[in-house]
């Protein structure tokens, strides 16, 4: 508590100085502490805040009235937003407003995130674009029902520079034409999974939006004709073509002669693309920074010869390719600027090849060796010694790695932030002791590492205090004592997987309840836990957003009642094969106002009537639900029609 004199001195600071102090606070926790000091500090926060991500839609009117100078608004976590809500927000902002005037919050808004807002339609979008004259960026990705009318509404945002329409499944060339004509200033556009888009729409887009710097048409059935159109974009820097089945080497010839500013290209999983097509790209763009060509080629001698000219290449991903030691030698000799290499599931990766690669690529920060089964401690030692700046290393299913390799990583790679050791059966407690020297670790994946125990986890809990993601899937040697050590040290943990860790009991979940930052918890098939353990998690982990407790049969209704009462931030839940009753199910589905996705398969203690009541309780906001297949014929047609009408996706198991 501030003393009277020090409080008086602080409050004597001018508004300009307080604003400058506030802007120096980078962490949200610090800004929260700032605005809790006094009314004046709270007023400075209101005047200065530019970005807002809303979690509870019921608080949205109050927040928009409180922060009138917003530039960025993220509503992706509000599943219930629809045209009516938008109309309300643009007329009356918050309770107590007597005059229906346009919401001032919209006037300066530049960025709007509406991802997965399936309840919104063209009239709501039209109101938003007209009310936000400064709008420059809009994200409507995964709004699967969006089509040409919604695109027409967005086209009125004439100042739009960035637009994400991934998986807007109803969008056709007609809607894309509206955007191309209305939003001619577009610089960034993503159209992944917009399956109705054809060459015609891409051609018009390229003619009208000549300032495009970023274009992603991944998973579209466009042909080489689209690449001919794209090649005319003089400012294009990033081109995404992942899994486009109808493009081939002929199309990439157009790219060789066009797109003079191209720096990043992704042709991974393009079945028609071979080394010959990549040669065209490489030959025409010697300033290329990033090349993604996974699962579509084998490295030919001719392509390697062309790669000698890529002096500035920083990222190369050739996952699934067949590669030789000679290839590694050529890459290391000529691509000395590499900071990331993706070799996942490559055939021909050996210790000698890796040693040749890292001997010259000393600036590597990310290395993916997933499923490179021939790798041993020899290669890991070479990586550790040469790549001291490494921050991410993926070694899933590299079964011959032991504590010796981890000792080298713990000795030399002290900047390591992420390591994936999933299914590395050679990893043991001693290896984790060595690895715990990497105090910067934030993501550690140990799934299927059956030789680690509570002792190994205690090393991580004592030394790796920055960890925010930990995967212990099927680590059967981990129990309550290990979780105690983890909860004492890893206070920043946000994502934890304990599935099939059979030794964990209610005592272990009580320790998990101390992790206040935890937002994602997987705890499948923990047969020793009951409602007591679940209650401890619900009470302690207030930020919990994703919970998977499939096959937790011994959890009783008391745990589910606690979940319904305390876990208000839950967005996804898996209750399949749980013994939840009708009443508890209705409480969970009805009380969790942010719930968007639920898996409710084989609920042994629930009846058809109970499931239907639960679905009625959440039908206004649920986006996706998975149900037991026979219920398709037992649930009333009325509830199924209501869910369908509200855009809910029903999957049957």
Which of 101-110, 172-181, 234-243 has the least mean pLDDT? 101-110
**pLDDT on residue 212:** 98
How far apart CA 4 and CA 118 sit, in angstroms, is: 52
Alpha-carbon radius of gyration of the chain: 27
> At 98, is the pLDDT very low, low, confident or very high (cuts 50, 70, 90)?
very low
**pLDDT on residue 256:** 95
* Total residue count of the chain as it appears in this document: 653
How far apart CA 520 and CA 544 sit, in angstroms, is: 6
**pLDDT on residue 504:** 97
**pLDDT on residue 585:** 97
Residue 185 clears pLDDT 80, i.e. is over it: yes
Q: Give per-residue pLDDT as tens, 599-617.
A: 999 999 999 999 999 999 9
> At 623, is the pLDDT very low, low, confident or very high (cuts 50, 70, 90)?
confident
Residue 15 clears pLDDT 90, i.e. is over it: no
Residue 418 clears pLDDT 50, i.e. is over it: yes
**pLDDT on residue 22:** 66
Contact 550, 574 (CB under 8 A): yes
**pLDDT on residue 76:** 87
| DSSP H helices in 495-651 | 506-512, 531-540, 557-566, 582-591, 608-618, 637-645
Beta-sheet strands, E only, within 55-169: 72-74, 111-113, 137-139, 162-164
Contact 312, 336 (CB under 8 A): no
Please give the angle made by the CA atoms of 368, 374 and 379, to the nearest 5 degrees: 65
Q: Which domains does the chain have, with CATH numbers?
A: 16-46 (no CATH), 546-652 (3.80.10.10)
Which of 190-204, 206-220, 386-400, 636-650 has the least mean pLDDT? 636-650
Q: How far is CA 593 from the centre of its chain?
A: 22
**pLDDT on residue 615:** 96
Q: Which tokens hold the place of 627?
A: 């149900």
Beta-sheet strands, E only, within 217-334: 238-240, 264-266, 290-292, 315-317
> At 494, is the pLDDT very low, low, confident or very high (cuts 50, 70, 90)?
very high
Average pLDDT over residues 440-460: 97
Q: Give per-residue pLDDT as tens, 549-571.
A: 999 999 999 999 999 999 999 99
Measure Cα distances from 2 to 10, 36, 575 in Å. Answer: 10, 12, 48
**pLDDT on residue 101:** 47
**pLDDT on residue 92:** 59
**pLDDT on residue 28:** 66
How far apart CA 153 and CA 420 sit, in angstroms, is: 44
- Quick one: CA torsion of 194, 198, 203, 206, rounded to 10 degrees? 10
Q: To the nearest whole number, what is the mean pLDDT of the chain? A: 91
Backbone angles phi, psi at 134, to 5 degrees: -100, 10
> At 79, is the pLDDT very low, low, confident or very high (cuts 50, 70, 90)?
low
Average pLDDT over residues 501-526: 97
Q: Give per-residue pLDDT as tens, 515-541.
A: 999 999 999 999 999 999 999 999 999
**pLDDT on residue 221:** 94
How far apart CA 248 and CA 270 sit, in angstroms, is: 8
How far apart CA 314 and CA 336 sit, in angstroms, is: 8
> At 475, is the pLDDT very low, low, confident or very high (cuts 50, 70, 90)?
very high
Residue 381 clears pLDDT 50, i.e. is over it: yes
Q: Give per-residue pLDDT as tens, 135-180.
A: 999 999 999 889 999 999 999 999 999 999 999 999 999 999 999 9
Q: The pTM is what?
A: 0.90
β-pairing, 418-420 vs 392-394, is: parallel
Q: Give per-residue pLDDT as tens, 43-61.
A: 677 777 888 988 778 888 8
Average pLDDT over residues 621-639: 93
């Amino acid at each position: 508590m501030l003393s009277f004199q020090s409080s008086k001195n602080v409050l004597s600071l001018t508004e300009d100085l307080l604003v400058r102090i506030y802007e120096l606070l980078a962490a949200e926790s610090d800004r929260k502490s700032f605005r809790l000091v006094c009314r004046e500090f709270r007023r400075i926060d209101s005047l200065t805040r530019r970005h807002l991500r809303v979690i509870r839609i019921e608080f949205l009117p109050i927040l928009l009235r409180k922060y009138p100078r917003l530039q960025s608004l993220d509503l992706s976590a509000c599943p219930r937003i629809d045209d009516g809500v938008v109309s309300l927000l643009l007329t009356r902002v918050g309770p107590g407003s007597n005059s229906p005037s346009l919401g001032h919050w919209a006037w300066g808004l530049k960025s709007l995130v509406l991802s997965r807002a399936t309840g919104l339609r063209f009239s709501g979008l039209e109101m938003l674009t007209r009310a936000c004259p400064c709008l420059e960026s809009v994200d409507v990705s995964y709004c699967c029902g969006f089509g040409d009318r919604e695109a027409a509404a967005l086209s009125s945002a004439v100042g739009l520079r960035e637009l994400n329409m991934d998986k807007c499944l109803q969008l056709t060339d007609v809607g894309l034409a509206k955007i191309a004509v209305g939003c001619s200033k577009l610089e960034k556009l993503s159209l992944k999974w917009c399956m109705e888009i054809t060459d015609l729409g891409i051609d018009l887009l390229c003619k009208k939006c000549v300032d495009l710097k970023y274009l992603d048409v991944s998973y579209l059935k466009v042909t080489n004709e689209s690449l001919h159109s794209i090649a005319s974009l003089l400012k294009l820097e990033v081109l995404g073509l992942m899994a486009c089945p109808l493009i081939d080497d002929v199309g990439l010839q157009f790219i060789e002669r066009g797109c003079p500013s191209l720096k990043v290209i992704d042709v991974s999983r393009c079945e028609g693309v071979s080394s010959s097509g990549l040669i065209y790209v490489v030959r025409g763009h010697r300033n290329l920074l990033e090349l993604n060509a996974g699962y579509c080629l084998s490295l030919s001698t001719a392509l390697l010869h062309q790669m000698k000219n890529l002096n500035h290449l920083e990222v190369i991903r050739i996952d699934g390719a067949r590669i030789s030691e000679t290839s590694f030698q050529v890459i290391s000799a000529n691509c000395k600027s590499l900071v990331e290499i993706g070799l996942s599931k490559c055939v021909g990766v050996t210790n000698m090849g890796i040693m040749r690669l890292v001997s010259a690529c000393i600036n590597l920060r990310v290395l993916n060796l997933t499923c490179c089964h021939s790798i041993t401690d020899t290669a890991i030692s070479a990586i550790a010694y040469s790549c001291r700046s490494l921050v991410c290393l993926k070694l899933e299913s590299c079964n011959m790695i032991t504590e010796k390799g981890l000792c080298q990583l713990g000795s030399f790679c002290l900047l390591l932030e992420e390591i994936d050791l999933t299914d590395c059966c050679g990893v043991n407690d001693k290896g984790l002791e060595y690895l715990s020297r990497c105090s910067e670790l934030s993501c550690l994946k140990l799934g299927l590492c059956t030789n680690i125990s509570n002792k190994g986890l205690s090393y991580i809990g004592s030394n790796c205090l920055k960890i925010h993601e930990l995967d212990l899937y099927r680590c059967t040697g981990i129990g309550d004592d290990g979780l105690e050590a983890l909860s004492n040290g890893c206070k920043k943990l946000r994502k934890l997987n304990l599935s099939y860790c059979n030794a964990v009991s209610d005592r272990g979940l009580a320790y998990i309840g101390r992790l206040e930052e935890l937002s994602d918890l997987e705890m499948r098939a923990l047969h020793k836990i009951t409602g007591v353990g679940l209650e401890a998690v619900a009470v302690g982990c207030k930020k919990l957003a994703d919970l998977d407790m499939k096959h937790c049969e011994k959890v009783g209704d008391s745990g589910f009642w606690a979940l319904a009462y305390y876990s208000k931030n839950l967005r996804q839940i898996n209750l399949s094969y749980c013994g939840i009753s009708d009443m508890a199910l209705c409480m969970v589905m009805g009380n969790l106002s942010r719930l968007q996705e639920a898996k409710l398969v084989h609920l042994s203690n629930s009846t058809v009537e109970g499931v239907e009541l639960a679905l009625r309780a959440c039908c206004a906001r649920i986006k996706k639900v998975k149900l037991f297949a026979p219920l398709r014929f037992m649930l009333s047609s009325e509830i199924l029609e209501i869910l369908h009408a509200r855009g809910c996706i029903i999957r049957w198991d």
